[in-house]
Chains A and B, each alone.
Chain A
Amino acid sequence: MQTLIVEPNIVRPDDFYEALIDMHRDLTDEQSQMANAALILLLANHVGDLGVLREAIAAARTSVKPT
Chain B
Amino acid sequence: MNLSDSKKKLALAGVICGLVAACLAYFGNPANMAFCIACFIRDTAGALGMHQAEVVQYARPEIIGLVLGAFIISVMTKEYRSTAGSSPMIRFVLGLIIMTGSLVFLGCPLRMVIRMSAGDLNAWVALIGFVLGVGSGVVALKKGFSLGRAHVTNKAGGTVLPLLMLGILVLSIGTTLLKASEAGPGSMHAPLIASLIGGLVFGAFAQKSRMCFAGSIRDIIPMKNFDLFSVIGGLFVVMLIFNIATGRFVFGFGTPGIIAHSEHLWNILGMYAVGFAAVLAGGCPLRQLILAGQGSSDSAVTVIGMLVGAALCHNLGLAASGTAANAETGEIVAGAVPFNGKVACVICIVACFVIAFTNKRKEAK
Chains A and B belong together in one complex: no
* Chain B interfacial positions (CB closer than 8 Å to A): none
